[in-house]
Amino acid sequence: MSRIIVPEAEALLEQELPCLDKGFVRLVDYMGGDERIVQAARVSYGSGTKSYRQDRALIHYLLKNEHTSPFEQVVLTFHAKMPMFVARQWVRHRTARLNEISGRYSIMKDEFYVPEPNKMNFQSASNKQARADENLDSDLAAQMIAEMEADQRQIYDHYTGMIEGGLAREVARANLPLSTYTEWYWQIDLHNLFRFLWLRLDAHAQYEIRVFAEAMAKCAQAVAPLAYEAFQEHLVGCVKLSRSECVAMTALLAGGDSGLVGRPLEQFLEKLEKIKATQPVERVEEFTAAG
C-alpha cells in the first residue's frame, strides 16, 4: 500500500507556526489521513469504490459513536518549543511519544517566556486555577513584567556562572525558572490528538497552552480535514449533559423550572450558553431566564 499524500499537509511540513513570544509548533511528518481512516474502518469487508459523500458520512459515524481505533491509524509528529510550565501541562497527556531536550547534555538557551501586558490578569475569585477576565492596571502590569525579565536575566547569569565554575549541567539547571523555553518532538495518533485538542482548545484551558493547541489543530485539519470536521461537530460543538441536567432540560422544555440551584445551576446555564453560541436556538434565552 503506497503512502498517503495529503497536499494541504505537505504544504505545512517544516513550517514554524509561531506560538507566544518565542515558541512554535512545526509539523515534521504525518502518516495517513482521511483515506487511511476509511480504509481501516472498511478492512473487514473491503473498501470497494466509495464516494466522497460516503467517506464523509462514515467518518462522522465513527467519531459520533466513539469507534476510535480507525483514527489511531493516522499519526502526526510535531517539533514544538514551549515554556517549561506549558510542557508540564502538556505532558499530562500520556498517550504520545516524546523526546525532550535535556539540560544534562545541553546548555539551556537564554530564552524565557514573558507575558504580553494584556495577559497579565487578576486571579479568578471563583476558579482557583485560572485568571479572571480583568487585567491588572497597565502600570502595575508593566512593573511586574520588568521584574520577571530582571529575575530571568539574573537567574540565567547565575546558571551560566555555575557551569563556567565547573558545576555539572544536571545540577545547574535545577535553578532555572518554569518560564525557560524547552523543545521536544511529540508524536501522537489522531484519536488521542483530538482528545488533547478537545481539552486544550476549551475556553477554560490556560491561554498559553491553548495557543499551541490552536497551531496543532491547524495541522490536524490539514492532514485529515473530514475527520477534523467530525471532531468539530461531535466533540468541540457537543454539550454533554449529566442525568440531573437532562431532567432539568426536560423540565424547561415542558415550561417548568430546572430545579437546579447553586453551582450545578451555574454549570447548566453555561452549557445552555454554549448551545446558544454553537447553534442559536430561540428558546435558549427563555431557558436561561427560566433556570
Residue 80 near residue 193, CB atoms below 8 Å: no
- The x, y and z cell numbers of residue 41, run together, are 474502518
The Cα-based distances of 284 to 7, 30, 268 in angstroms read 41, 42, 12
Choosing from 153, 200, 210, 263, the catalytic residue is 200
Residue 104 among the catalytic residues: no
Instruction: From 17, 19, 16, 59, select the one nearest 37 (Cα to Cα).
Output: 59
Residue 241's CB: how many other CB atoms inside 10 A? 13
Burial of 42 by CB count in 10 Å (0-12 exposed, 13-18 middle, 19+ buried)?
middle
Residue 122: phi and psi, rounded to 5, are -70, 160
Q: Is 98 left (phi over 0), alpha (psi -120 to 50) or beta?
A: beta
Residues 152 and 265: their CA atoms lie apart, in Å, by 44
Residue 32's CB: how many other CB atoms inside 10 A? 24
Give the length of the chain.
291
- For the annotated catalytic residues, the residue numbers are 200
